[in-house]
A and B are shown apart, each in its own frame.
Chain A
Amino acid sequence: MLLVLGRRLFNVIPTLLAVIALVFLLFSVLPGSFISGMGEDGRTTIDPAVMERMRKEMGLDDPLAERFARYVAHTAMGDLGTSFRTREPVTKLIGVRIWPSLKLVFAAMTFAISVGVTLGFLAALRPGSLLDTVSMVTAISGLSLSQFWFGLMLMYLFALQLNWLPSFGYGDGGLRNLILPAVALGVGPMALLARTTRAAVLDVLNADFVRTARSKGMSERRVVEWHVLRNALVLVITIVGLQFGSLMGQAVVVEKLFAWPGVGSLMVDSVFQRDMPAVQGCILLIVVFFLFINTLVDIAYVVIDPRIRYG
């Protein structure tokens, strides 16, 4: 079993390296683009001589391979460069924002799983019923929503009209500020999970071994408890993992809308200000998060599915 785990972890490394390479290349491929941002903060235009000096300082004229090696080395040691905008280390900039982003993503996922999986599950147990139709209509609507527009509508209704919740901001980091952004972010994954869970449970309910279970004289409830749940779970976990992983990236807009101080809003600001090191750092973090979650899902598979464990 450890061998299987080890192999999975090992496979992540090439992808990680590839991402770092991609992030690096993206910003180095167009000459001058890297530091062109330094002058576009609107305040001053940089003297070409100063630009020249900066280029030398940052080693931008060195061969690509060298720059890449340097970048990887720095990154491995936790140095993601210096922000153009604030002149602070990017690592520090991002570090402060990780926790709020994580909170948001976790909250959104909790919402998505608890509502989505439950809905999909109940819908599958009563296919063709009113509950089923309503659930699936809700699901496909959730997939069609613009997340930030939905967030905006929620904000209008619950914060501005009803005054139940704060309209934006992190506040003291408490639950009240978390609810609206979490729901806005979570509605898409919720919809997808509802559909997937429904399909997975229906699949399992029609499986041969469930027929065997019924032929043993089990009540439908026992059939579901003892045989359906775990098998459907395996199918659902993939989607949970994929959604979870990409949620930090999808959060960029929601974070901006609710002025949530996370990695996503930092990325958007940095893109606007052409603060390349910060953009690079954000992308890296978001992707690392994705790979991390994916690996967790892989591990979960090994634990849950004996076919993989003893395969």
Chain B
Amino acid sequence: MSTPLLTVDDLHIALAGDGATYGAVEKVSFEIGRGEAFGLVGESGCGKSITALAIMGLLRRPLSLSGGRIVLDGEEIQDASAAEMRRLRGKRIAMIFQEPMTALNPLSPVGRQIAEMFVLHQGANWNEAMDRAEEALRQVRVPSPERRIRDYPHQLSGGMRQRVMIAIALACGPELLIADEPTTALDVTVQAEIIDLMAELCAAKGTAILMISHDLGLVANMCRRVAVMYAGRIVESQVAGAIFATPRHPYTQGLVDSLPRLGERSRRGQQRLREISGVVPSIAAYPGGCRFNPRCPAVTDICRSTAPDITPLPADGLVRCHHHG
């Protein structure tokens, strides 16, 4: 296997609060191969979004990168200058965000917002760029693209706006697409379409995807490998099938169990959804030892005192637990 496209190694992100500094993300490491779809799963507040922002170099005060390496195609970029990061963004790494309504400039026609990519990175003039924008809209299956390019964001539905975002992101053929909860704000019926579209386009162009979501089911369907994050740390990473079949970390087990399932259980009348008790801790109040310990069904003393190390699993997997398996 050739060198991975993206290596995140021992990433630390700090949050500067009132007088104190908190470790929002710690010791996060993962790799994404060329053209691979990789999923990052976790609840709100676990740090997955800011990890994505860190890769893009878009962290702003009070967040900052406080340690670790980010390697893109062999080059280290965590210390890259602002100008160097700008050259990467849009061209080699692209990102789409959760709320398409607020992620697009309300005062600018969507066609122009796509065309910007061509003007910025490929030196096209505006006319050429608008033509190519129309083509891009066609690729993301927006009907009547020749008319749509002149529309404003508020005139489009949520699903269409997200298609526009995808068109923008993939316009210059980036090597990596980071998708931060792209379907969370959309109707369920539209979600599947968008996911399929993304998967198809990225496969066709050989673009790797970093798919970030709180929805384990969605991620496992789309991605080859999945990592689970909790309270700023990766607690498990396996091939998608294995995560479902044999989750090793109690948190992952809880996530899998809490998925509503048709079939055996409901037929037998066991309708109750399983939940993970407790709530996600806030950054300022991360528990000591293993951060999951207050909510873990398998907790023992060592969990409360010592943070667990990584245990490797077959097929490049890993788990961070004293009692894995």
Contact = CB atoms under 8 A, between A and B. Distances in A.
| A–B contact at 8 Å CB threshold (below) | yes
A33 to B, nearest CB: 52
B120 A208 contact: no
Interface string B2-27: 00000000000000000000000000
B117 A216 contact: yes
B94 interface: yes
Given A218-B120, A306-B152, A212 B104 contact: yes
Nearest to A230: B107
Contact of A211 (B91, B97, B116, B155): B97
Contact of B87 (A207, A217, A227, A305): A217
A209 B56 contact: no
Nearest to A307: B154
Given A217-B120, A306-B152, A211 B58 contact: yes
Contacts of A311: 154
A122 interface: no
B102 interface: yes
Interface string B145-168: 000000010110000000001001
B284 to A, nearest CB: 22
Contacts of A214: 58, 89
A132 to B, nearest CB: 14
Contact of B105 (A222, A227, A310): A227
A118 B131 CA distance: 37
Given A212-B97, A217-B120, A307 B152 contact: yes
Contacts of B86: 217-219
Contacts of A45: none
Nearest to B88: A217
Contacts of B107: 230-231, 234, 304-306
Majority DSSP secondary structure for residues of A touching B: helix
A226 interface: yes
A215 interface: yes
Nearest to B98: A208
Interface in B82-110: 86-91, 94-95, 97, 99, 102-108
Contacts of B152: 306-307, 310
Contact of A215 (B90, B105, B155): B90
B58 A209 contact: no
A207 B103 CA distance: 8
A207 B88 CA distance: 22
Contacts of A257: none
B116 A215 contact: no
B103 A212 contact: yes
Given A208-B97, A216-B168, A217-B87, A307 B117 contact: no
Contacts of A207: 102
B113 to A, nearest CB: 8
Given A208-B97, A215-B94, A216-B168, A231 B88 contact: no
Contacts of A217: 86-91, 120-121
Nearest to A311: B154
Contacts of B121: 217
B87 A208 contact: no
Nearest to A228: B105
Nearest to A127: B61
A306 B110 CA distance: 12
A87 to B, nearest CB: 55
A299 interface: no
B207 to A, nearest CB: 15
A285 interface: no
A16 B117 CA distance: 49
Contacts of B102: 207-209
Interface string A187-229: 0000000000000000000011101111111110010001100
A230 B106 CA distance: 10
Nearest to A306: B152
Contacts of A213: 105
Contacts of B87: 217
Nearest to A220: B82
B105 to A, nearest CB: 5
B136 to A, nearest CB: 13
B89 A307 contact: no
Q: Name the residue among B58, B91, B105 with the largest chain A CB count within 10 angstroms.
A: B105
Q: Name the residue among A216, A218, A305, A311 with the largest chain B CB count within 10 angstroms.
A: A216
Closest 9 CB pairs between A and B? A217-B90, A217-B89, A208-B102, A216-B90, A209-B105, A306-B152, A215-B95, A212-B103, A208-B103
Interface of A: 207-209, 211-219, 222, 226-227, 230-231, 234, 304-307, 310-311
Given A215-B58, A231-B107, 12 more contacts: A207-B102, A208-B97, A208-B99, A209-B103, A211-B97, A214-B58, A217-B121, A218-B90, A222-B120, A226-B108, A231-B105, A310-B155
11 contacts: A211-B58, A212-B97, A215-B58, A215-B90, A216-B90, A217-B88, A217-B90, A217-B121, A227-B108, A231-B106, A306-B107
